[in-house]
Amino acid sequence: MPQYLGLDASTQSMTGLIVDTDAREIVAEESINFDEHFAARYGIENGVLDQGDGVVHGFPLMWIESLELLLVRLRESGQDLSKIAAVSGSGQQHGTVYLNGSATAALEGLETDSSLFDQLAGIFSRDTAPIWMDSSTNRQCREIEEAVGGQAALLELTGNTAFERFSGPQIRRFFQDEPEAYAVTATISLVSSFMASVLAGKLVCVDAGDGSGTNLMDIRTRNWSAVAQQATATGLADLMAPIAPSAEPAGSIHSYFVKKYGFTNDCLVLPFSGDNPCSLIGLGLVNPGQAALSLGTSDTLFSCMVKPRFSSEGEGCVFSSPDDIHYMALICFMNGSLAREAVRDQYKLDWQGFTEILHTTQAGNKGRMMLPYFGPEIVPNVPAGVVRKGLAEDDVAGNVRAVIEAQAISSYIHSRWMGVDITSLNVTGGGSANEEILKVFANVHGCPVHRFETTNAAALGAALKAIKGHQTNLSWSSIADSFCQPSGSTIHPDQPLRALYDDVIAAYVEFECDHCRQVSFSH
Ligand code: XUL
C-alpha cells in the first residue's frame, strides 16, 4: 500500500501528514509546536526570535530537532514508515539558511549513534535564518531594484517587485552587514531545500515554486537570473543550488532515517517547495481560475493562473506552481492570526468568547472600522500601528468584529489585480476552523467558502508532490480529485449582507487610502 509523507516546516510548527493512495485518504497528521518544546532553549515566541527593528529570525537547528521529534511522534502513533514510498515537503517561504563548507560532508556522514542536532550543529555560517516575517531589508530592496534597472524591470524579470521578506534582500543584508560570515558561507539554502537536504543527506536543489519567492529567479524560464543574483550579492551564483523540476527525485532518503525510523532504502526524497505553492496544490488548485484562502499566522489569498500576471502596484506575488506549468498569484497579509490573537488577548477572550461576539454583532459593524496593523503590514505596505475609526479602544465587541471585517475586506480589495473572477474560495489554515470568521469572508467576497478536511494544506500539497514524483503517470487533476475535495462543510454568502458590504467596502477603501497616504513606506 504506497503511502506518502508530506512535511511542513512552518513558522510555528513542524507537521507531518501521510496519505495512502489506495485508501485515498489522509492516514496520519502530527505536529510539533516549536514554542511548546523549544521556547526556553531558543528564546523564541510564536516560533521565532524577534530581535527588534524588523529583524525576525528562526533557528534551523530547532527545525532539525523538531523533525526528529516529529518522526518519533509518527512512529509512536502507530505509523509504519517503511510504507512510505516518497517524501516531499513544504517550507515557510522566503527564509534563507546559511551553510559553511562542512555541510556536505556532515549531511552525507550522518550516523545513528548521535542525534541530528549533535551532528549538524556545526554546519552553519550563521546560526539563525531570516524568515518571511523579517521586515528589516527595505534599503536592500530598493538597491536590488535599482541595480536591475528599476522596480518595473525586477517585476518583469522575476514576477515580483522586491519585498522585504523575500530571500534576495535578506541575502544582500547579510552580505553587507556580516561580510566575514558571508565569506565563509558555502551554500545558501531556502528553508525548503535545507529540510530536503537533511533528509537526503546531501545538498538538494531548489524547486521553482520556492525559487520564485526569492527575487532571484527568472519567472518565465524558471531558472536563477544571473542579473538578479549579481544585483544582490557578490559570488551569489556559486552559493545557490540549481533549480530542479519539482517532480524529479533528489535521491533516496539517507540511511540515518532508514536505521533510526524504519524508512526503506528506496524511499524517494523529492525537492521541497514553499508553503504557498504547496498549499495551492494541497487545496486542489491545479486548474486556472480557482482561488483559495489560507488563514494562518499570515493570511494569504491565492489563485491558479495560466500565465504570470503581475500586480502593477507591486503588492501581490507571482510564484511558479509545483506542477511547473501554471503560476500562482498570491497576496500575503502579515496581520493574519497575529492580529486575531492580539485582539483576543487584548480583551482577555478565549476563542469561544471571540466567536460569540462575531455571531451576535452586525455585519458592517455600524460603521466602526479598524486597520489591523498590529505588526508591520505587507499589503498595504505600512508600518505597525492599529488605527480605529468610530471605534473606541475599550469597545470589545466592536474591535472583535472590526478586525475580522478588515481582514476580509482587505483580502477582497487587494485581490482585484489577479483578474480572477473568484466564484468560490477553498479555505484552510487554523482560522478556517472558525465558522463565524468564514461567514464574514463569504459575505464580503459574495461567494461560497469551502472548508477542507485538513487545515494543513501545505503538508497535504507536499504529500501530493511526493505522489507525483513517485507515480509519474498520474495527472495532477487525478491526484487532486482523490485528495482535495471539500469536507462537505460549505459556508454560503448571505446575499442581502453582500449588498450591504458594497458601502462598507467603499468606506474601508477610503479609510485605508487616507492612512496609506500619511504613513506608508512606498505609496
Ligand atoms: C508569502 C509569505 C507567507 C509565508 C508564511 O509570501 O511570506 O505566507 O510563506 O510561511
1 has pLDDT over 80: no
66 has pLDDT over 70: yes
Ligand 1 atom nearest the C-alpha of 132 is 7
Which residue lies with its CA nearest to atom 1 of ligand 1? Answer: 332
Ligand 1 atom nearest the C-alpha of 92 is 10
The total of other beta-carbon atoms located within 10 Å of residue 29's CB is 19
The total of other beta-carbon atoms located within 10 Å of residue 385's CB is 13
Contacts of residue 416, defined as CB under 8 A and 6 or more positions apart, other chains included, come to: none
86 strand-pairing partners: 4, 268
The total of other beta-carbon atoms located within 10 Å of residue 460's CB is 30
Q: Confirm or reject: Cβ of 93 under 6 Å from ligand 1.
A: yes
Q: Confirm or reject: Cβ of 317 under 6 Å from ligand 1.
A: yes
Q: Confirm or reject: Cβ of 166 under 6 Å from ligand 1.
A: no
Strand pairing class (56-58; 49-50): antiparallel
Residue 482 to residues 284, 291, 456, 458, Cα–Cα distance (Å): 10, 19, 16, 16
Predicted confidence band at 240 (pLDDT cuts at 50, 70, 90)?
Answer: very high
17 strand-pairing partners: 6, 29
d(CA 468, ligand 1 centre) in Å: 24
The residue ranking higher by pLDDT, 284 or 315, is 284
Q: Confirm or reject: Cβ of 299 under 6 Å from ligand 1.
A: no
pLDDT at residue number 306: 87
Share the mean pLDDT of the chain.
95
pLDDT at residue number 523: 37
Phi-psi region of 345 (alpha: psi -120 to 50; beta: other; left: phi over 0): alpha
> Burial of 116 by CB count in 10 Å (0-12 exposed, 13-18 middle, 19+ buried)?
buried
**All CATH 3.30.420.40 domain ranges in the chain, comma separated:** 3-277, 284-451+493-523
pLDDT at residue number 419: 84
What's the rounded Cα separation, in Å, for the pair 395 and 501?
A: 22
The residue ranking higher by pLDDT, 195 or 314, is 195
Kindly state the percentage of the chain with pLDDT values over 90: 89
Mean pLDDT of 142-157: 96
| 3 state DSSP class of 211 | helix
Q: Confirm or reject: Cβ of 212 under 6 Å from ligand 1.
A: no
314 has pLDDT over 80: no
pLDDT tens digits for range 326-367: 999 999 999 999 999 999 999 999 999 999 999 999 999 999
Which residue lies with its CA nearest to atom 7 of ligand 1? Answer: 132
What's the rounded Cα separation, in Å, for the pair 423 and 291?
A: 8
Ligand 1 atom nearest the C-alpha of 294 is 8
Q: Which of 45, 187, 48 is nearest to 123 (CA)?
A: 187
d(CA 274, ligand 1 centre) in Å: 8
pTM of this structure: 0.88
Ligand 1 atom nearest the C-alpha of 332 is 1
d(CA 298, ligand 1 centre) in Å: 7
487 has pLDDT over 90: no
- Mark out the alpha helices in 31-166 (DSSP H runs): 34-42, 60-76, 103-108, 116-120, 138-147, 151-158
Pocket test for ligand 1, best of 8, 12, 57, 275 (most atoms within 8 A of CB): 275
Tell me the three-class secondary structure of 428-464, residue by residue: ECHHHHCHHHHHHHHHHHCCCEEEECCCCHHHHHHHH
pLDDT at residue number 429: 82
Q: Which of 235, 206, 233 is nearest to 91 (CA)?
A: 206
Kindly state the percentage of the chain with pLDDT values over 70: 98
Q: Confirm or reject: Cβ of 119 under 6 Å from ligand 1.
A: no
Mean pLDDT of 268-277: 97
pLDDT at residue number 453: 67
Q: Confirm or reject: Cβ of 92 under 6 Å from ligand 1.
A: yes
**467-482 as b/e: b if 16+ CB within 10 A:** bbbbeeeeebeebbeb
Fold designation for 3-277: Nucleotidyltransferase; domain 5 (3.30.420)
272 has pLDDT over 90: yes
Contact of 246 with 209, CB cutoff 8 Å: yes
pLDDT tens digits for range 85-98: 999 999 999 999 99
Q: Confirm or reject: Cβ of 300 under 6 Å from ligand 1.
A: yes
pLDDT tens digits for range 170-193: 999 999 999 999 999 999 999 999
CATH of domain 284-451+493-523: 3.30.420.40
Angle made by CA atoms 515, 341, 396, in degrees to the nearest 5: 70
Q: Confirm or reject: Cβ of 276 under 6 Å from ligand 1.
A: yes
522 has pLDDT over 90: no
The total of other beta-carbon atoms located within 10 Å of residue 502's CB is 10
Mean pLDDT of 55-72: 98
